[in-house]
């Protein structure tokens, strides 16, 4: 009788598992390793599919919130306030990366001041003192159909915020006297000496910009001077870690202790920090120089709030052991390219919901990137800087920034994809508006329709609010409620209280629409 085979020909699996008589030990090991890898890949695919199913299941209850508004309106600062409120540890994790940004802000501001001084021959020009501040803004009349109008070309001067270095300034008579009785020639010599001493520090502007942008150059990057992509904080820390790893290893071998902050210091940033420390007194002297103060007072030199903030605090920023405070991070200015998504777990009434907050670039050339995010948005916070009534777009000096905000808000309110979206309006930078009005700056010089109304804060903010409400009423077929807040998003306590109110109103509308209550 025939002895049955251990491997039946009727069983293909058994046959496949039968060792080949020609298979060597090495080949068998390689086959088993290949099979194990195939098994691992298959299991990983199964796990990825499972996680994706779970994510899709959870995301059905997620909230998608868009931050919209023109460049420099305060969107990114508002995003930081959300981060502080709902993900505070993440601020600490990326705190050291903001040091590069703040150093860049300081250097870029100084470079702007020196370029403007050079354009005015490092002195004040007496012959232009009779011109009011409306003549120093921008030459052409706005083509928009909003509320603002620009001064006529015949009375306008160059916008000092965009004067290039080396541009010839107005003629100057050496024998003329400055406002404090000192000779202008003496003041010019002082500024010339400061410029020479600050030249090495000014040379770090481009390397710092390259470090932040990853070498990406965007034309028309504006006063911020550099664009960054989402995730730049992590890349900054990662690059610094790579550069400093060898030093850290050497310290470890020699028995020296290195803290985390020591490890992640970039060599370039360390060099700039040392230069700032040694130049601190020169920076103070330049910032407090009568010519600089005079140009600012006459609105020939215009600085953004972040420039003034860091120059006022230069002693602290230039300290050898400087670590950015939360207030520093809120004031730090950097322009985001594209759309950055931030996810927060928000708890309300015992229910945890993930919020996907999208911070988008507000420059005109980037607004086309907003549209793909409209179709499934749940809520929009539109940020409009009411302090910008005397400012014009960096991309288009003919357009008043209030006009641009109104036009942009009109597009949002009238968009069919957004007709059911919860809409919140932040009339932002009220602190700066108050400061401008306190100096006697007249709204009617820039917005003719303001007329002879009182130039006080309450009248001005209600005037702007009425125009935004009018835009909303004209584009509100679905009778959507517009929630309006007067804000200064660098004020953490006040802003987080408003965020709490916004959160509650968004959840009420969203949960009702989703039939979850």
- Residue 334 annotated as binding site: yes
Which residue in 313, 212, 321 sits closest to 268, CA to CA? 212
- Residue 261 annotated as binding site: no
Contact call for residues 398 and 141 (beta carbons, < 8 A) = yes
- Residue 333 annotated as binding site: yes
- Residue 444 annotated as binding site: no
193-199: which pairs have CB atoms within 8 A and are 24 or more residues apart? Answer: 194/282, 194/285, 194/286, 194/289, 195/114, 195/117, 195/118, 195/122, 197/279, 197/282, 198/110, 198/114, 198/279, 198/282, 198/283, 198/286
Which residue in 229, 75, 72 sits closest to 161, CA to CA? 72
- Residue 331 annotated as binding site: yes
Q: Is 318 exposed, middle or buried (CB count within 10 Å of its CB: 0-12, 13-18, 19+)?
A: buried
- Residue 420 annotated as binding site: no
Which residue in 233, 234, 240 sits closest to 264, CA to CA? 240
Name the strand (E) or helix (H) holding 478: none
Contact call for residues 119 and 179 (beta carbons, < 8 A) = no
User: If you write DSSP's letter for every residue of 76-122 in order, what string do you get?
Assistant: HHHHHHHHHHH-HHHHHHHGGGHHHHHHHHHHHHHHHHHHHHHHTTT
Per-residue three-class SS string for 257-295: CCCHHHHCCCHHHHHHHHHHHHHHHHHHHHHCCHHHHHH
The C-alpha atoms of residue 354 and residue 54 are separated, in whole angstroms, by: 14
CB neighbour list of residue 194: distance below 8 Å, 6 or more residues apart? 282, 285, 286, 289
- Residue 246 annotated as binding site: no
Contact call for residues 356 and 386 (beta carbons, < 8 A) = no
Q: Is 48 exposed, middle or buried (CB count within 10 Å of its CB: 0-12, 13-18, 19+)?
A: exposed
- Residue 430 annotated as binding site: yes
- Residue 473 annotated as binding site: no
| CB environment 448-476: b (16+ within 10 A), e (fewer) | eebeeeeeeeeebbebbbebbeebbeebb
Binding-site entries for Mg(2+)? 336
Binding-site entries for GTP? 330-336, 428-431
Binding-site entries? 330-336, 428-431
């Amino acid at each position: 009788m025939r002895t049955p085979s251990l491997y039946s020909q009727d069983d293909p699996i058994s046959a496949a598992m039968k060792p080949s008589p020609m298979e060597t030990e090495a080949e068998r090991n390689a086959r088993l390793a290949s099979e194990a890898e195939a098994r691992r890949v298959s299991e990983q695919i199964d796990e990825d599919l499972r996680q994706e199913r779970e994510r899709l299941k959870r995301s059905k209850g997620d909230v998608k919130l868009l931050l919209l508004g023109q460049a420099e309106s305060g969107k990114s600062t508002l995003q930081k306030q959300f981060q502080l409120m709902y993900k505070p540890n993440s601020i600490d994790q990326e705190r050291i990366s903001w040091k590069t940004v703040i150093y860049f802000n300081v250097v870029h501001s100084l470079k702007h001041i020196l370029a403007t001084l050079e354009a005015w021959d490092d002195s004040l020009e007496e012959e232009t003192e009779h011109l009011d501040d409306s003549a120093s803004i921008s030459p052409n009349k706005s083509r928009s159909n909003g509320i603002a109008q620009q001064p006529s070309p015949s009375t306008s001067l160059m916008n000092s915020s965009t004067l290039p270095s080396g541009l010839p300034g107005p003629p100057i008579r050496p024998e003329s006297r400055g406002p404090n009785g000192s000779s202008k020639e003496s003041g010019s010599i002082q500024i010339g000496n400061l410029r020479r001493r600050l030249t090495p520090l000014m040379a770090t502007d481009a390397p710092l910009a390259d470090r932040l942008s990853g070498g990406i150059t965007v034309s028309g990057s504006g006063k911020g001077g550099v664009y960054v992509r989402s995730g730049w904080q992590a890349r900054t820390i990662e690059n610094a870690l790579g550069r400093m790893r060898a030093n850290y290893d050497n310290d470890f071998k020699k028995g020296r202790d290195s803290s985390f902050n020591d490890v992640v210091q970039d060599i370039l940033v360390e060099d700039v920090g040392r230069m700032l420390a040694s130049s601190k007194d020169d920076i103070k002297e330049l910032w407090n120089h009568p010519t600089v103060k005079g140009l600012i007072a006459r609105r020939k030199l215009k600085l953004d709030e972040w420039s003034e903030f860091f120059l006022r605090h230069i002693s602290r920023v230039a300290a050898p052991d400087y670590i950015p405070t939360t207030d520093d991070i809120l004031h730090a200015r950097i322009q985001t390219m594209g759309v950055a998504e931030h996810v927060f777990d928000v708890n309300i009434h015992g229910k945890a919901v993930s919020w996907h907050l999208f911070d988008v670039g507000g420059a005109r050339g980037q607004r086309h990137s907003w549209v793909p995010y409209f179709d499934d948005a749940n809520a929009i916070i539109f940020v409009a800087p009411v302090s910008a009534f005397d400012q014009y777009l960096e991309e288009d000096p003919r357009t008043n920034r209030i006009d641009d905000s109104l036009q942009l808000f009109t597009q949002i309110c009238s968009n069919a994809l957004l007709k059911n979206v919860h809409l919140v309006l932040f009339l932002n930078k009220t602190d700066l508006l108050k400061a401008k009005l306190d100096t006697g700056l007249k709204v009617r010089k820039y917005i003719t329709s303001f007329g002879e109304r009182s130039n006080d804060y309450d009248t001005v903010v209600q005037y702007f609010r009425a125009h935004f409400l009018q835009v909303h009423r004209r584009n509100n077929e679905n009778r959507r409620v517009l929630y309006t807040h007067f804000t200064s998003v660098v004020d953490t306590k006040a802003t987080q209280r408003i965020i709490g109110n916004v959160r509650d109103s968004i959840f009420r509308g969203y949960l009702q629409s989703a039939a979850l209550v």
